Each structure stands twice: as structure tokens, then as C-alpha cells.
Structure 1
Amino acid sequence: MHKRMAMLAFIILVVAWGIPSAKAACSTPVVNASFGSVTSFAVNSTASTSSGSLSVNCGSSLATIFNTDTISVRLTASTFASGTQAIMKKVGDSSGDNIPITVCLSVQNCGSPMTIGAPATTFNSTQLSIFLLTGGKNFTIPLFFSTQPGQTVAAGTYTTTLSFLTNWDICTGLGVGIGGIQICVIDQNGSATLSLTVTLEVTNDCTTILAPAVNFGTAPLLSSFSSVVQTISVTCTKGSVYTVGLNDGIHAVNGVRNMASGSNLIRYDIYQSTTNNRWGSSIASQRWSSTNATSVSTNQLIRNYNYTATLLSGQTTPVEGNYSDTITVDLSF
């Protein structure tokens, strides 16, 4: 019995001595994650998902009787963070806009997301078997990412680079057991900090235009009607730059707005704020820029545009009736 054990040990040493070139450094490729393009309002209301991966590729493997492979992964840093929470921001932006992300290792919708500085997650040989690629000892561990809703942000490219400290101990050949002791002759072990970039493109969008009807009221003479001051409110992406236009209505004649009752017309017009600047659509100078809105909400989503609607002078009072027109409000980025 002792002779057999000695002979087996001798064979193992000879084989190990005979193939020193079988051990080579494991490579650690990374697949970055992208959420694609999402509107700012979708960022606020709905979680977006994406995925990437970390790999430990140790090449071909000789036959093993046992397997003691382990890989551990720990999130150590994020380019942008709030405490231990990884967040995405626009590079160089000082506005404070950010989008927190949830990081799940190997399992989507995990119950315990990774946080910066938390203890490493270690996968044993049984767990690693589901990440093992065909042929050799090459493992790809998936990472799943989701945004956290509730953020009011401006458009732009949001990103962060996550750092994962990865340790591995992989037996790539001649794993045997001797008297209950497991021995790996060709052992690959090492560590590396892997950098994975997560990106989201937030796009401009508008959701609401509030334009109450204009009512001049009732009077016997055109000269008795007063101007009407009202507000159009537009809800668009925070910080977005756009213009608001009003067309000439459905009864316009030679570019002059009219209210109609049958074939009878009353000329009127609409001006920006209390100025004499006509609010139009087809002429660029008559469009109203969001940068010059009358007022802006605290969250910078709603911009208000106060205007004055007035009947044009020099008209003869037409026959009595209900006069109306329909104006279209349009937005252009």
C-alpha cells in the first residue's frame, strides 16, 4: 500500500515537472452596459434595464478528478457615487442631476444589490458551473443593471465606470485526490480590478400643453371688447431649449387671424406677454423661445407663456353672432 502511494506521488511530480508551459495568466475581458436612449419622463417614471459581464478566462483544461475553483467579485468604486450607491451623471456637469443604478451580480432583479465597499461575493465550483463556457476553464459572470425611477434630470449622456475587484483560483488540470487530500498540479490564481462602464442617453421630450380657450365675452360693439391676458403652459424636459409657435388659425386671410361666424369675420391677433411682438409660427422671429418664458416651475419642467389676445382696431362691427377660431400650438426643438 505504501509503495503504491509513493509511486502515485512520484507520477504526479513527474507530470507536473514535464508541463510547466501549461500554466498561463488568465485573461479578464469585460462587456460594458448601455441602457440606450430613454426620454427624461421615462427615466422619472420607469426603471430601465441593461446587462454586462465580467469574465475570467483561463484557457484549456486537463482532466480533473475534483474541482475546487473559486471566483470572488467585489464592487470597490464608482466614478460617481452617493455614499455606497453607484449613480450616473453627465461628465463635467455641476447641476447635481444624477440617476442611481442598482447593480445585481449574476441574478437579475436580485434581492441584495451590490453596494460600494460591501464584502465580496464568492462563487464555488458548483456555482461557477453555470457560468462555464464550452471548452476549458473560461467563466463569464453576468451583471444586471437597472435605473431607479423618480429622478428629474436634463437631457444628455449619463455614465459611470464601476470598479470590481475580482479574485480567482482555478485548477486547469490534473486535479487528484490522495488519501482524502485534494491536489491541483496546475493552479491558476490571481486578482484584477476590472472596470465596467454603464451609459444612458437621456433625450428631450414634452408631455403636456395646457392652452385654455380665449373668451372675449359679449358686447354690442367691437370697440367695447377688452383684450384677454392668459397663459399657455408647456411641460418639457428640464433645461430643454425649444420654441413655441401659434399658427394663424383656420380663418386667416393674408396672414391675419380671424374669428368667423358663417361668412362674417372679426380680425384679432395674439401677442407675446404684454408687448407688440406677434406670436406666430411660420416666421422664426415670431416663435417664442423657452429661454424667454414668462416663468418656470421650481422643478424646471413647466414653462409658462403669458400672452395678450386683442381685437384689431379699424373694423366695422359685424352682424351679431358667435365668432370663433381654432389655433394650433406647436413645439420645435
Structure 2
Amino acid sequence: MPTLTRLICALSALIAATLMPSAASAACTTATASTSLGSASSYAVGTTQQQGSGSAGLQCDILLAALTAHYIALRVDASTFLLTGPTGQTIAYTASLTSGGTPLTVGNFQNLSSTSLVSLFAGTNNSIPIYFRTTATAGLHAGTYSGFLDMRWYHSVCSLGVLACLAYSNSPGLVRPLLTPPTNWGSGVAVRVNVELIVEKDCVITAPNAGFGSAPLAGSFNPITRTILIRCSAGASYTVGLDDGDYPDNGVRRMHSSGNYLRYEIYKSTTSPDRWGSVGSARRSSGDADTNPNIHDSVTTQGFGYRAAILPGQVTPPPGLYTDTILIDVAF
């Protein structure tokens, strides 16, 4: 009987040990992070703040961290808070741990231990997010603008446990106290957070409508002159083309009204006999502008004058309002 009793006790102990849940384990990790602010035209960057967010380089298991007090702190070791482009131009920016929050500064130690875990690790995969916002900066050349923050994270977070914490993930040198917040945060872990913005070439085009007025015969219309105004991103030389309109016929532009057509053409400059088109030598270059040629500073406007004329020798079509639409394209 004593032998049987011992056997049953041993079996009960074995079953109890087998059903006990194993302790979960995880740790905080740090890694280089990158945030892209996307791409925007030079004029959008010049008038509007560009914003974006990404990881600040620290990720922890917040379920385990909830088992006991967590201690997390941050210091920015170095940053110019500038995005630098290919020509050396810069865009100032701010970085913060909350959207629209207080900007981070170099050397400022921030103890984040009192922040709730859900709020603190609100980024992707339980990472701490970081938010960037640029200062509107005009006159930029197109290209990739990049910057960085060298950050240092300090942490002591539960890394092993189920109902109670059995072990902690501590950054180097941090001495975890029993009851009070740390007084020795150690050396922390250095990470770099990169940020970039792509500035794209863009143009502002002003093209007034062109009206020939009215006349009884196709040959009675006088030529008209107009000017197209264009300004483009700094450093961006370009060419300008005019397409053949909505109703071309064998390379000749036509206006339309109720199934009838009135043939016309547009010529380079106010006196040139050369047709202004959309391909090859039929295009005009920014160096060929009538006003401010070859000035590419994003502020100065180039003017391209042209002459439009109803073509002579055609049969006068029926009376009506004849219209066409010309597409202006700028190529860099």
C-alpha cells in the first residue's frame, strides 16, 4: 500500500508539472530605422509642410512589459535637423514622439517611463513612433533630400514571465531599482533614424485663351498674338511643346463646330513662320524664351510669345462658334 500511494503521488506530480504553462519570453530590440516623407513637387515643398512618421528604433513586447514597472528614456545624441539635397540646399525639419508634439532637441534626456505602454509603443509591431514635419522652403532644386537623428535608448522592460516577471531586458549599464526610478541609466543603445524627402521638378503654367473674334469669311480673320508664361523648379531647363489639338487633319490644326471645321495654325514667336509643335525641333526650349531665357531659379517666369492665324485659301464653313483645345507640355 505505501508503494501504491507513492506511485499515485508521483503520477499526480508528473501530470501537474506537464499541465503548467511555460513562461513567455521576449526582449526589447533596437535597430536602424528609416522614414520616407514621400515625394512632392518643389512648389508644394516651398509652400506646404511635408509630414510623415516611422519607427524611432526601439521595439518591445508590451504584453510582457505590463507585468511590472517599465523604465524607458531617450536622448538625441546628434542631428542637424536639416534635410540636405544634391546641390547642398537644405530643408529644416522637426522630429517628435507624438504628432505635432514638442520637437526633440540634441542632448535633451527624456524619461518616458510614466507614459502608458499603449501610447508609447503605438507604432508598427509595438515600436515607438517618431513624427517628422518640414519647414516650407522655396527655390529648391529637384532631388533626394536626406537627414538623420542619432538617438540613444535606455530601457528596462520585462522579458520573461506569465503572471509575474521573471527577467528583464535592460539596456547596457542600466541598474534597475527595486522600488524607485533608476538613478543609473547606463550607456544606453545608440541607433540612427534616417529621414528623406524626394523633391520633384514642377512648373507653373499660365496660358490665356486665344480668340479670333468674328468675321463673315474664313479669309477675313486677322492673326492674333498671345504669350504663355512658364516658371519651373530651380536648375530645371526644359522644352515646351504644343499638341495638334482635338481635331487635326494631316498635321494641320482645326477648330470644330457641329461637324464643320476651320483650319488654323500656331507659330513660334509673334513673327516666326515656323509651326510650334510637340516633337523634335518643333518644340521650344527655355533658352529660347522671349523673356528671361535660361533663368531657372523657380521664381523668374519665362514668356513664350506666339502667333495664331486662320489659314488662307480654305472654303468658309457654315456660321457657328468654332473651338479647339491645345495641350501644352513641358519636358525636362
Q: Does 1:275 align with 2:285?
A: no
Give the TM-score normalised by structure 1: 0.63
Give the TM-score normalised by structure 2: 0.63
Q: Distance in 2 between matches of 1:251 and 1:26?
A: 66
Structure 2 match to 1:93: 87
Q: Name the amino acid aligned to 2:135.
A: Q
Q: Distance in 1 between matches of 2:314 and 2:69?
A: 99
Structure 2 match to 1:329: 327
Structure 1 match to 2:100: 109
Shift in Å, 1:300: 3.4
Q: Does 1:162 align with 2:159?
A: no
Going from structure 1 to structure 2, the CA distance change for 1:28 and 1:310 (only over 3 Å counts) comes to same
Task: After TM superposition, list the pairs within 5 Å mapping 1:138-157 onto structure 2.
Answer: 140-149=127-136, 151-157=138-144
Structure 2 match to 1:201: 198
Shift in Å, 1:306: 1.2
Q: Distance in 2 between matches of 1:264 and 1:55?
A: 66
Q: Decide which of 276, 280, 286 is 2:282's aligned counterpart.
A: 286
Task: After TM superposition, list the pairs within 5 Å mapping 1:1-333 onto structure 2.
Answer: 28-55=30-57, 67=69, 69-74=71-76, 76-78=78-80, 86-90=81-85, 92-94=86-88, 96=89, 98-105=90-97, 107-110=98-101, 112-115=102-105, 117=106, 119-124=108-113, 126-127=114-115, 129-130=117-118, 140-149=127-136, 151-164=138-151, 166=152, 168=154, 170=156, 173=167, 177=178, 189-206=186-203, 208-215=205-212, 227-234=223-230, 236-249=232-245, 253-257=249-253, 268-272=265-269, 274-281=271-278, 283-296=279-292, 299-300=298-299, 302-310=301-309, 315=313, 324-333=322-331
Contact persistence 1:241–1:290 (CA under 8 A): yes
Going from structure 1 to structure 2, the CA distance change for 1:99 and 1:309 (only over 3 Å counts) comes to same
Q: Name the amino acid aligned to 1:93.
A: T
Q: Name the amino acid aligned to 2:198.
A: E
User: Secondary structure of the residue that 2:186 maps to in structure 1?
Assistant: strand
Query: Structure 2: where are the runs of 5+ without partners?
Result: 1-26, 159-166, 169-175
Deviations 1:105-145 (A, max 9, x none): 2x1111x2123x35322223x33745787xxxx98432111
Shift in Å, 1:198: 0.3
Deviations 1:223-264 (A, max 9, x none): x87643320124554444544322344665543445689968
Q: Distance in 2 between matches of 1:284 and 1:123?
A: 62
Q: Name the amino acid aligned to 2:191.
A: L
Going from structure 1 to structure 2, the CA distance change for 1:114 and 1:301 (only over 3 Å counts) comes to farther
Contact persistence 1:209–1:235 (CA under 8 A): no
Deviations 1:59-116 (A, max 9, x none): 9xx99x97573423225223xxxxxxx22131x314x3x33222112x1111x2123x
Instruction: Report the number of matched residues.
Output: 282
Q: Which moved more, 1:26-35 or 1:235-244?
A: 235-244
Deviations 1:178-218 (A, max 9, x none): xxx8699xx98323443211011223345544233143786
Q: Name the amino acid aligned to 2:78.
A: T
Q: Distance in 2 between matches of 1:27 and 1:305?
A: 59
